[in-house]
Chains A and B, each alone.
Chain A
């Protein structure tokens, strides 16, 4: 940023720029990192793996996701009770959406109309109408909801409660919890398998991943992790994501400072890659060759070469990095 003017004009435009009119984003060749104590996103050039800029945003940015039409990056801010919409090409905030108290994570409905937001403070899943920019429903769930995942057909929303140790299955149309599934302690994040038959959920204090059958909504298996030289109590899985070929699940093991490569078919950990402290959320680039890991306690992002299962670079970013979104 060369002067303060562009910032001010961006601020003046807040609320007036409709989502659909902001057409940039995608193919910027950049990765964006939210850090809880920065109120800004760090911009990483995916080719050089260097920080090339910062985008000021709302307070305590955490979960980020592109809108389905790619028009903007939606960033949920816990301390601002809203999401900012960011034009990643212009690196500017172009709008915002109220999300309710202390939003942490969210997912967007497959039709792009709604955001499903976990609100830590209220113990609720809020349904936000993205066009109207309004919370339309608030569904009480167990305390401290966190991970949110919409099913690909839009009929269900899954949300974890860190206190209730449950996955709540919600019918978003009816605005109701249809099932509570008991999983390991402090459940955090979700990933679906390629065929959509399994929902994997990490348990931070269970040191495990619970696999839920999306057919009968029961836990079919629990994967426990072991890292040589680490006590079970040091293994605190949080983020996870599926490889592009659908064969491997990448699971960040938190304080164990490793990412586990888990073979989806056999449920076996095939590789462990050493990363920074408290490996949190993990994100792939578009072709799936590189994995970006946000390290919450070492204030950096580790980039893993997936084929070699090796960390190739660790990049200092902001304070308490939470998540990376790659737009290469």
Chain B
């Protein structure tokens, strides 16, 4: 594929007419959605995706966009609307910024992005059109680094940690042994997990780093039995962004206790084997269209597209109108999770239930029964309004 073609694959969603548009009207209105992801994405290396770590992406963002548009074809035709997708990739923050500017100039109503947090922070202020983050859980983007045109459909790291902490609270598994990796990413995520543990009144028994190693001199760091010995805990919470260590942690610890976090039980935006609220239909549509199981990242890309389409069907066909539509209290989305979803006005994060899954089935939903909140129980996951962490409205 040429560089040009790789960086900017454009296609027009075919007009599937003949049955829907009633009555047949004159020229259809066309609007453009930008889709921006990272070039040479290591997370999507086939060797990596075939390991299918929960909470990791399973394929390119554009696939979920495609599924959402296909699913909405009937309404689009009926409203005489035509969608054009401009898919692009960027190698770094600078390139991401220039692609965003190009798409804005070309008249895109919004861009769905799957980019690293620091690229987003640096590139987003250069444009005014809505950017919907469908892949980055970093909480800074929802707090100090929030931007007026930046929305999030992917749940934040804190939402995921809160979901697990709520589950542990409701089970009364309050004594938590935390194991964590030593990468920079793990350090940040560890802080988030510790804050959730504190927020929900759980007791950290110990916090220990681990290392993937077969070196006998490092066995204290690498051996799950040694890492978890001589302590009394109800549960082990593992923070492992990479996934290899955490995957085999359950059943290898010294006490017969569950593992949660990045091993054992995970909190995710979507699981392909979710059985309720019409979820199997969506999961099947994705599998049929794209030939693989739908992940949390796919759900975030899909619902981001659905948000843009729904706003467009409500006649919001400019970037400003889209941005305005998203934060209206009446703007609710059907995410196949049983409740109405909407964007929080304070940090533009999509409020949503999270699925607690071991990869085989969905064990529970968070927030679970008994979790209370003065206005919307979904706001017990992640940053709530009174915290005032995001200053830009």
Which residues of A approach B to under 8 Å, CB–CB? 120-121, 123, 139-144, 161-166, 176-180, 185-186, 205, 231, 233, 236, 255
Contacts and interface: CB of A to CB of B under 8 A. Distances in A.
Nearest to B342: A233
A139 B278 contact: no
Contacts of A144: 278, 281
Given A143-B285, A144-B281, A164-B75, 17 more contacts: A121-B281, A140-B20, A142-B74, A143-B71, A143-B72, A144-B278, A164-B72, A164-B78, A165-B75, A166-B74, A166-B75, A166-B78, A177-B20, A180-B22, A205-B340, A233-B340, A255-B338
Contact of A121 (B284, B338, B339, B340): B284
A255 B377 CA distance: 15
Contacts of A161: 74
Contact of B334 (A120, A185, A231): A185
7 contacts: A140-B20, A142-B75, A143-B285, A144-B281, A163-B71, A205-B339, A205-B340
A177 B19 contact: yes
How big is chain B's contact interface, by range?
10 to 19
Interface in B275-306: 278, 281, 284-285
Interface string B14-54: 00000110100000000000000000000000000000000
Contact of A178 (B22, B340, B376): B22
Interface string B349-389: 00000000000000000000000000011000000000000
B376 A139 contact: no
A50 B284 CA distance: 38
Contacts of A121: 281, 284
Interface of B: 19-20, 22, 71-72, 74-75, 78, 278, 281, 284-285, 332, 334, 338-340, 376-377
Contacts of A123: 74
A162 B334 CA distance: 9
B330 to A, nearest CB: 11
B375 to A, nearest CB: 9
Nearest to A140: B19
Contacts of A164: 72, 74-75, 78
A236 B339 CA distance: 9
A123 B16 CA distance: 14
B339 A140 contact: no
Nearest to A123: B74
Given A140-B20, A177-B22, A185 B74 contact: no
Which 7 pairs across A and B sit closest by C-beta, in order of nearness?
Answer: A142-B74, A164-B75, A180-B78, A140-B19, A233-B339, A143-B71, A164-B74
A163 B72 CA distance: 8
Contacts of A186: 334
Contacts of B74: 123, 140-143, 161, 164, 166
A207 B75 CA distance: 21
Contacts of B78: 164, 166, 180
Given A120-B281, A121-B284, A179-B22, A185 B71 contact: no
